[in-house]
Amino acid sequence: MTTVETGDDGLPFQNPHAVREDARENNLERAIGHEVRTLRKKLGITGSDLASATGISLGMLSKIENGNTSPSLTTLQSLAQALGVPVTAFFRRFEESRNAMFVKAGEGVELERRGTRAGHQYNLLGHIGNNTSGVVVEPYLITLTTDSDVFPTFQHEGLEFLYMLEGEVHYRHGDRLYPMAPGDSLFFDADAPHGPEVLVKLPARYLSIISYPEKARGRR
78-98: pLDDT as tens digits: 999 999 999 888 887 665 555
pLDDT value at residue 5: 54
Helix-strand-coil split of the chain, %, nearest 5: 25, 30, 45
- Which amino acid makes up residue 150? V
> What CA–CA distance (Å, rounded) separates 133 from 148?
39
> What CA–CA distance (Å, rounded) separates 98 from 145?
37
Helix (H, G, I), strand (E, B) or coil at 40: helix
pLDDT value at residue 1: 44
Burial category of 65 from C-beta neighbours within 10 Å (exposed 0-12, middle 13-18, buried 19 and up): buried
Which of the pair, 209 or 147, is modelled with greater confidence?
Answer: 209
Q: What is the reported pTM?
A: 0.54
pLDDT value at residue 218: 47
- Phi and psi dihedrals of 113, rounded to 5? -115, 165
Q: Note the pLDDT tens digit of each residue in 14-24.
A: 555 455 444 44
- Which amino acid makes up residue 41? K
DSSP 215: G
pLDDT value at residue 114: 46
